[in-house]
Amino acid sequence: MPVFYGTEVPSRLMLGTALYPSPAVMADAFRRSGAGIATVSLRREAGNGGGQDFWALVAGLGVHLLPNTAGCHTAREAVTTAHMAREVFGTDWIKLEVIGNADTLQPDPFGLLDAARILTDDGFHVFPYMTEDLVLADRLLAAGCEVLMPWAAPIGTGLGLMNPYALRSLRAHFPDVPMVIDAGLGLPSQAAAAMEMGFDAVLLNTAVAHADDPAAMAEAFALALRAGRLAHDAGPMAPRDMAAPSTPLIGKAFL
């Protein structure tokens, strides 16, 4: 199971807590999937008037909490939100989002790096939401991040692994760094493919919450993650350019 900042979590699936039809449906999705981490947005839930009822519901899930800085467009905004989240949730973990483009919700690499440095110095354990950029990854690690969260595709699109080459390169360059595929997955098969590449976990929200049956979809993703990781650990065969017979020619009758 993945280990983040010295804490082992019991599942490779991380679920968001937004967009569900009801709190009961959300709780059922967590129960059926066995997700080990719940991401929560202080800004979104406070703005929707969730208040203490929402905090109590999330606490009752019995999972690790990962507050995020969703909706922040500057490093200063993100840092302020992170400090507020630490006060509310009582955790040093923070999923750091600094959005640079309003249409794609692509992370701002410059603001992200600035905020990561500040928060690390302030004692936070930062989970940075980033693009699949090797240079940015290196800078974030140098800033003190011990986990990386590259996107698969823009948030909420369900496009899957848009750039497999870059994701494989990122995984290969930093083989010992825990990495979570965050954003853009729409199908369990895409999550399985991420596991086969060697990533440690995935974070989902829209793909589960917007399904006709969110709890069933959450369970489907959990099963796909298990299959993908088993395949990775089993050592899959490499692709070949030429056919190779599964039945040996030795002993074959020649007429």
Q: What residues are designated binding site for 1-deoxy-D-xylulose 5-phosphate?
A: 156, 183-184, 205-206
Catalytic residues: 95
Alpha-carbon distance values, 159 to 117, 186, 191, 193 (Å) = 31, 6, 12, 13
**Token reading at 60:** 């009752």
Cα separation, 151 vs 184, whole angstroms: 7
Long-range contacts of 141-147 (CB under 8 A, 24+ apart): 141/174, 141/177, 143/113, 143/116, 143/117, 144/116, 144/117, 144/120, 145/116, 145/120, 146/4, 146/5, 146/177, 146/178, 147/4, 147/5, 147/177, 147/178, 147/179, 147/180
234 C-beta neighbours (distance < 10 Å), count: 9
Give, as one character, the DSSP assignment of residue 71: T
The gap from C-alpha 31 to its chain's centroid, in whole angstroms, comes to 18
Binding residues: 156, 183-184, 205-206
Nearest to 79 by CA among 47, 109, 118, 106: 118
Cα separation, 228 vs 199, whole angstroms: 10
- The answer to whether the CB of 150 falls within 8 A of the CB of 184 is no
Measured over all CA atoms, what is the biggest interatomic distance in the chain, rounded to whole angstroms?
82
